[in-house]
Structure 1
Amino acid sequence: MITNAPAQVTDAAVTLLRGAALFGPLAAVLAATAVRRPSERAVAAMILATAWNLLALAPVNVIAVRAGWWSFSAQGAVVEGVPVDLLFGWALLWGALPWGVLPARAARRLPLPLTVLTLAWLDLAFMPLARPLVRLGGDWLYGEALAVALGLVPGLLLARWTVRGVAVAGRATLQAMLAGGLMLGLPAALTGVWRQPGWLAGLGVQVLAVPLTLGLAAVREFAAAGGTPLPYDAPRRLVTSGPYAYVRNPMQVSMVASYLLLGVLDVRFLAAACVTVAYGAGLAAWHEGEQLAGRFGGAWVAYRASVRAWLPRLRPSPVMTAAVVHVSATCGQCAPVGGWILRHAPVALRVRPAEAHPHGLRRMTYERADGLRAEGVAALAHAASHLHLGWALAGWVLLLPGLGWFAQLCADAFGAGPRSVPSWSADRGTDLDGRHTARERTG
């Protein structure tokens, strides 16, 4: 008589392991949060760390399966050879669990290397015990190292910074990467929209760069103001500079425009654009509008009357944060730059001679009323946001990480490096357009 008992036992073991991998971490997190209610920042840290690990571990597992580092014996709820429930359990184990089980004070004070080693050890112990669900290859430790580097460590950093409320630039950057990965990268991978001829893919990337630049510039403005895109972690002042001088919802406009462009290749992205507009124009607009009106009063009312929510202005709003750009009037290469800015009739920007600055300058310098200061190419990029939407987009591109450094390097190589300029006395200080401003503060 033929029996299927061994196969049935194997299937039962796989089912049991899949359930334990998902519901074990989930039950631990729920039990811990039920016993001790986490703070708002701790909840945000749990969500962000779990989402980061989910986003990072998905491609790591796909790479591991294709490289032969490990494979899965599973049927149903499997994408690219990876069980979805196992992926969620792994993300919870490395993401929410450390911040749900430990008190927030203990979790944020625990040394990062110790936390990494503990969670990595748990994973190293579980992987060999997960047979027959997981079949390990001879080089499976390479996959484990990649998972730790791309998932565990950045996720812990993002959570720790969020709980402590520090490293605003770092956590804003990781939040932007997370949002882009979940809202654009993952849908593009699942729909296969990226499988296009080379010329079309290259054209698509260039076209998408426009709305994505708008969104990234908005995140940078929030970080410069001491906040992030998360509602609980918003800047403490009303941001009216950068993209916010042109449109009230630059991040949402960026995402909707990206979906509409991708919708040309896959109609499902058009549905995503509709959902994003409905959410942004409905719940988000009502909730954020109530908060901003309560916090900023008349300033918010004036800003809302001047800047549209979805359709960007061509010229910046007059209510944008005022600034001064200092350009040398005696330098043959620098003075024409100041003239070029003035010919474009800048909004809320004064152009003053660098020679009149009280502290002495060696580069073109941009100083904004909220304290932001930039030099060289970055100063020109910030000044461009006071001119026109087209020039502003070009300036925001120059402010992207790495590009600004490279542009400054090229400018220095072509003779636009730092230089000494003669200092003018206070009674000679004038704007480059001729207005007398000797006794005005410009910092």
Structure 2
Amino acid sequence: MTVAVGAPAAAAGPVPDPAGLSAALAGMTADPALVRGLALLVPVAAVLAAAAARRHPERDIAAAILATAWNLTVLAAVNVLAIGAGWWRFTAEGAVWHGVPADLLLGWALLWGALPALAARRAPPPLVVAALAWFDLAVMPLGRPVVVLGDGWLTGEALAVAAALVPGLLLSRWTSAGRRLRARVAMQALLAGGLGLALPIAATQAWRQPSWALGLLVQALAVPLLLGLAAVREFAEEGRGTPLPYDPPERLVRTGPYAYVRNPMQVSMTAAYLLLATLDRVFLAAAAVALAYGAGLAAWHEGERLGERYGAAWEEYRRAVRPWVPRLRPAVPEGVPGATLHVSRVCGQCAGVGAWFARRRPAGLRILAAEDHPAGLRRITYTGPGGGTAQGVAAVARALVHVHLGWALLGWALLLPGVTWFAQLCADAFGGGPRTEARFAGRVPGRVGQTR
């Protein structure tokens, strides 16, 4: 195409109007499909770039996974709450969960979870929180028409930062550095409950049942969930690690629930899904997936790694303990140090407790006199194979695990947070408090020891 010399500029076509171009761009950003696409693709691209920038150790991968899962779970609850409170709402069709677009939720979780875990691991946490919160404050008003903000949207934003961003960032930092083991394990247990049970129950609305049915179901669920929680606790106390494959225990765990069944966490979740299937058949599929994963990929992967790492000890343990069907009595594989329960011989109540355990021949537990302990003891004291100790009600609860699966369930229930404290309070109120008795009574006059 040619243009004659001296022809007016208009002959070459209309000149684009900058104002019109701005309006066109504004219209593009107002397109719901574009808003949803950018909300997911930008965080995904940022995370992939951070992952490719350098080689990350396994702990950083674990940190990114956990932080994203934490934000995904908490942000789902915050968004549902925000819709109900009128802080903001979404106008979207397709891939919507309880009124929340799934792509926006996933992008938000990646932006607050995996991205700082991989790209800003060494930056000061207050600076990371401030930067991400500022970015969110700037971007959320641009989300129209998909995101429609209400008058109190800053309240919802503050709640999201406090409940999702800050704890998720701390969890990722603790995981990367290998610190705060108890806090990491507790947050992982909350995550498993949120992602594995709470969100599916909310999504299927299986909770809409008569109160008597829910009451029976909660009682039935207590049995497998106790097994799973006890397994998580055992990983932390005896193995010094967590259930996450990238953040595993430092040594082979063969005590507690693992003395009864090799896969207590998978057994716990599968049994819970089977019970929930009485309310909604979709949980049958969830149970099948959990069973297939635990019996297939997880068993193969973990078996290979454990076999390479622990050799004969793993093989001997695998022969002694079944993967899915719990034993009635705990197995005590060779090479596992025994636990001890120190009980006073001169305190009538204590001696009765010791005699009760002795009659039941606990596996892997020695019952010794508290008077023979080198340190002063004021309560019944349990010392585990890994050297951890417990006293009073907690000691009795730990010792019950060595007796029988039924008594072990009672022991794990007593070890739940808050339950131990309340049970000890009741025991002290009824005369089971700490006592001081004559040590080596009749043999060392005048020497006083602490035995209960």
TM-score by length of 1: 0.90
How many Å separate the matches in 1 of 2:442 and 2:417?
A: 37
Deviations 1:80-116 (A, max 9, x none): 22111111111111001112333xxxx2x43322222
2:385 aligned with 1:372: no
Contact 1:354 1:364 in 2 (8 A): yes
Q: Percent identity?
A: 63
Change (3 A) 1:79 1:287: closer
In structure 2, how many angstroms separate the alpha carbons of the residues matched to 1:80 and 1:370? 46
Question: In structure 1, what is the equivalent of residue 107 of structure 2?
Answer: 89
The 10-residue stretch of structure 1 (135-144 or 243-252) with the greater mean CA deviation from structure 2? 135-144
In the alignment, the residues of structure 2 paired with residue 54 and residue 72 of structure 1 have an alpha-carbon distance, to the nearest angstrom, of 17
**Backbone CA RMSD of aligned residues:** 2.1
> Are the structure 2 counterparts of residues 426 and 41 from structure 1 closer, same or farther at C-alpha, using a change threshold of 3 Å?
farther
The answer on whether the counterparts of 1:45 and 1:160 sit within 8 Å (CA) in structure 2 is yes
Residues 231-281 of structure 1, C-alpha deviation per residue, up to 9 Å, x if partnerless?
A: 232212211111011001100110111011111222221121122112211
Query: Could you say which residue in structure 1 is the equivalent of 2:76?
Result: 58
Letter in 1 for 2:139: F
Output the amino acid matched with 1:245: A
Partner of 1:26: 44
Q: How big is the shift at 1:323? A: 0.6
Could you say which residue in structure 2 is the equivalent of 1:307?
321
- Counterpart-to-counterpart distance in 2, 1:26 and 1:263: 35
Which digits, 9 at most, give the CA deviation of each residue in 1:277-335, with x for residues without a partner?
A: 12211121122112222222222122111111110001111326411101111112221
Matched ranges for 1:200-279 at <5 A:
200-224=213-237, 225-279=239-293
**Which 10-residue stretch deviates more, 180-189 or 32-41?**
32-41
Per-residue CA deviation, residues 351-399 of structure 1 (Å, 9 max, x unaligned), is 1121121111001100123111111111000000000000001000111
Name the CA distance, whole Å, in 1 between partners of 2:384 and 2:72.
39
Q: Distance in 2 between matches of 1:363 and 1:311?
A: 36
Paired residue secondary structure (1:208): helix
Work out which of the residue numbers 105, 120, 129 in structure 1 matches 2:142.
129
SS at match of 1:234: coil
Counterpart of 1:44? 62
User: Aligned residue for 2:132?
Assistant: 119
Q: State whether structure 2 residue 439 is matched by structure 1 residue 423.
A: yes
1:10–1:132 contact (8 Å) kept in structure 2: no
1:348 paired to 2:361: no
SS in 2 for 1:232: coil
- Aligned partners of 1:226 and 1:235 also within 8 Å: yes
Name the residue aligned to 2:96.
78
Q: Which amino acid aligns with 1:226?
A: R
Alignment check: 8 A CA contact 2:28 2:34 kept: no
Q: Distance in 1 between matches of 2:214 and 2:315?
A: 43
Tell me how far 1:75 sits from its aligned partner: 2.1
> What aligned pairs does 1:357-396 form with structure 2 within 5 A after superposition?
357-396=373-412
1:89 partner amino acid:
G
Matched residue, 1:434: none
Distance across 1 between alignment mates of 2:317 and 2:213: 40
Normalising by the residue count of structure 2, what TM-score does the alignment of the two structures yield?
0.88
Partner Cα distance (2:430, 2:151) in 1: 53
- CA distance in 2 between counterparts of 1:75 and 1:214 reads 41
The whole-number CA distance in structure 2 between the counterparts of 1:209 and 1:369 is: 27
1:12 CA displacement: 4.9
Matched-pair contact (CA < 8 Å) for 2:97–2:203: no
1:143 to 156, 172, 184: 156
Letter matched to residue 433 of structure 2: G
Quote the Cα distance in structure 2 between the aligned partners of 1:295 and 1:357.
35
Identify the residue that residue 296 of structure 1 maps to in structure 2.
310
In structure 2, the CA distance between the partners of 1:223 and 1:212, relative to structure 1 (3 Å rule), is same
1:205, distance to aligned residue in structure 2 (A): 0.9
Q: Is the CA contact (8 Å cut-off) linking 1:241 and 1:321 kept in structure 2?
A: no
Per the TM alignment, residue 426 of structure 1 is displaced from its structure 2 partner at its CA by: 13
* Matched residue type, 2:282: R
Corresponding residue number in structure 2 for 1:69: 87
Is 1:172 matched with 2:185? yes
| Distance in 2 (alpha carbons) for counterparts of 1:426 and 1:57 | 66
Does the CA contact (< 8 Å) of 1:212 and 1:254 recur in 2? yes
Shift of 1:149: 2.0
How far off is 1:77 after superposition? 1.8
